[in-house]
Homo-oligomer: A and B are copies of this chain.
Amino acid sequence: VQIRNPYLLFIGDASDQLAAKTADGVAQWRRDWCAGQLRLPGCKADLGLPDKTLEQAAAEGVKTLIIGVANRGGKFSPNWVETLVKALELGMDIASGLHNKVQDIPEVAEKARQLGRQIHDVRHPTQAFEIANGVRRPGRRLLTVGTDCSVGKMFTALALEKEMRGRGMNADFRATGQTGILIAGSGVSVDAVVSDFVAGAVEWLCPANTPDHWDIVEGQASVLHPSYGGVTLALCHGSQPDAMVCVHEPTRPHMRGLPGRPVPGIRDTIAAHEAAARVTNPDTKGVIGLAINTHAMPEAEALAYIRRMEDEHGLPACDPLRTGCANIIDRLNTLF
Question: Taking beta carbons and an 8 Å cutoff, which residues of A are in contact with B?
Answer: 131-135, 190-196, 198-200, 223-224, 226-234, 237-238, 257-258, 260-261, 272, 275-276, 279-280
Give the distance in Å from the alpha carbon of A224 to the alpha carbon of B199 in the complex.
12
Contact A193 B191 (CB under 8 A): no
For the complex of A and B, the 7 pairs showing the least CB-CB separation, nearest first, are: A134-B226, A230-B234, A230-B230, A191-B196, A195-B195, A132-B227, A230-B233
| Smallest beta-carbon distance A207→chain B, Å | 15
| Smallest beta-carbon distance A155→chain B, Å | 21
Contact B195 A190 (CB under 8 A): yes
Closest to A134 in B: B226
Given contacts A230-B233, A233-B229, A237-B229, contact A134 B261 (CB under 8 A): yes
Copies of this protein in the complex: 2
Closest to A231 in B: B195
Give the distance in Å from the alpha carbon of A231 to the alpha carbon of B231 in the complex.
8
Give the distance in Å from the alpha carbon of A227 to the alpha carbon of B240 in the complex.
12
Max chain B C-beta neighbours (<10 A), residue from A134, A196, A260: A196
Contacts of A276 in B (CB 8 A): 229
Contact A134 B258 (CB under 8 A): yes
What are 18 A-B residue pairs whose CB atoms fall within 8 Å in the complex? A131-B227, A133-B227, A133-B258, A134-B226, A135-B260, A190-B195, A194-B194, A194-B195, A195-B230, A195-B231, A196-B227, A196-B228, A199-B229, A199-B230, A224-B279, A226-B279, A230-B232, A230-B234
Contacts of A229 in B (CB 8 A): 199, 233-234, 237, 276, 279
| Smallest beta-carbon distance A137→chain B, Å | 12
Contact B134 A195 (CB under 8 A): no
Contact A198 B195 (CB under 8 A): yes
Contacts of A199 in B (CB 8 A): 226-230
| Smallest beta-carbon distance A57→chain B, Å | 34
Closest to A191 in B: B196
| Smallest beta-carbon distance A141→chain B, Å | 14
* Cβ-defined partner of A194 (8 Å) among B192, B224, B234, B279: B192
Contacts of A228 in B (CB 8 A): 131, 196, 199
Contact B231 A237 (CB under 8 A): no
Give the distance in Å from the alpha carbon of A272 to the alpha carbon of B280 in the complex.
14
Closest to A196 in B: B191
| Smallest beta-carbon distance A262→chain B, Å | 12
Contacts of A223 in B (CB 8 A): 233
Closest to A202 in B: B230
* Cβ-defined partner of A134 (8 Å) among B133, B227, B232: B227
* Cβ-defined partner of A237 (8 Å) among B135, B195, B230, B275: B230
Contacts of A275 in B (CB 8 A): 272, 275
Contacts of A237 in B (CB 8 A): 226-227, 229-230
Give the distance in Å from the alpha carbon of A186 to the alpha carbon of B192 in the complex.
24
